[in-house]
């Protein structure tokens, strides 16, 4: 059986401090990659070019959803069988990439790298983000009928079926939980793989305590709308 072609998609916005080490980590694990420079205001693009890093440069900032969808479209256009979203800030660990690939090859359409399916000593995120994670897990369980312990994880692998779906329909703002509702609506199989994550290696996160509250409200409403759309069509 032929080995699947796998692409690691690395969205990057103002990640000049982290991007080289992140790419080296992925390459050392034996995977192909593309960096999606999401209209960075710093010199992320120049750093990539200076180090010979394969980069797709977006002319303006589209947000994480737009950057990830650009990665899905890149993977689709170049004939990859699996793509894996992998943060450019150093939080994700490339030693788990193969575990996600194995889960997809084992039958899942989407495999999520989860901090919470097993007790680990890795970085568990801030208190407010953990509250948001618990809330969104409940919203997905009740309304999308999918049990996900780590719905905000941006470490996830998709097969061709999921790639094709997300090329056509992918949320723009805070997309991770909403995209799971979309996938569930379309009958895709979602599984979780235990991983350990690390603290951001440099730069500053764009989500503070106030943004976390906004995040919970907005994403909850988006999930409800996605589920209502499924019911109307069904």
Domain boundaries, the chain: 6-233
Indicate the pairing of strand 6-12 with strand 82-85.
parallel
- Please state, for a pLDDT cut of 70, what percent of the chain lies above it: 86
The topology (CATH level 3) of 6-233 is Spore Coat Polysaccharide Biosynthesis Protein SpsA; Chain A (3.90.550)
- The pLDDT assigned to 124 comes to 52
Confidence of residue 231 (pLDDT cuts 50, 70, 90): very low
Q: Does the pLDDT value for residue 233 go beyond 50?
A: no
| CA distance readout (Å), 1 to 7, 80, 105, 147, 154 | 19, 16, 11, 31, 29
Segment 141-199, tens digit of pLDDT: 888 888 999 999 999 999 999 999 999 999 987 899 999 999 998 999 999 999 999 98
Residue 128 confidence (pLDDT)? 67
Q: What is this structure's pTM?
A: 0.86
Nearest alpha carbon to residue 212 among 153, 139, 133: 133
């Amino acid at each position: 059986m032929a080995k699947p072609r796998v692409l690691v998609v690395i969205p990057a916005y103002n990640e000049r401090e982290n991007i080289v080490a992140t790419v080296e980590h992925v390459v050392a694990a034996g995977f192909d990659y593309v960096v999606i420079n999401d209209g960075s205001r710093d010199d992320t693009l120049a750093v990539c070019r200076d180090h010979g890093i394969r980069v797709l440069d977006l002319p303006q900032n589209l947000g994480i959803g737009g950057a990830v969808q650009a990665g899905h479209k890149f993977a689709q256009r170049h004939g990859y069988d699996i793509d894996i979203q992998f943060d450019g800030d150093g939080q994700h660990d490339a030693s788990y990439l193969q575990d996600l690939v194995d889960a997809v090859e084992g039958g899942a359409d989407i495999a999520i790298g989860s901090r919470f399916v097993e007790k680990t000593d890795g970085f568990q995120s801030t208190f407010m983000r953990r509250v948001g994670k618990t809330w969104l897990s409940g919203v997905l369980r009740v309304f999308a009928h999918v049990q996900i312990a780590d719905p905000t994880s941006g470490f996830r692998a998709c097969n061709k079926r999921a790639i094709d779906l997300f090329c056509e329909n992918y949320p723009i703002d805070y997309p991770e939980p909403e995209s799971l509702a979309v996938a569930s609506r379309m009958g895709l199989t979602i599984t979780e793989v235990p991983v350990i994550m690390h603290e951001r290696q440099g730069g500053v996160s764009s989500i503070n305590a106030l943004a976390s509250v906004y995040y919970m409200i907005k994403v909850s409403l988006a999930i409800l709308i996605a589920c209502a759309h499924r019911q109307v069509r069904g």
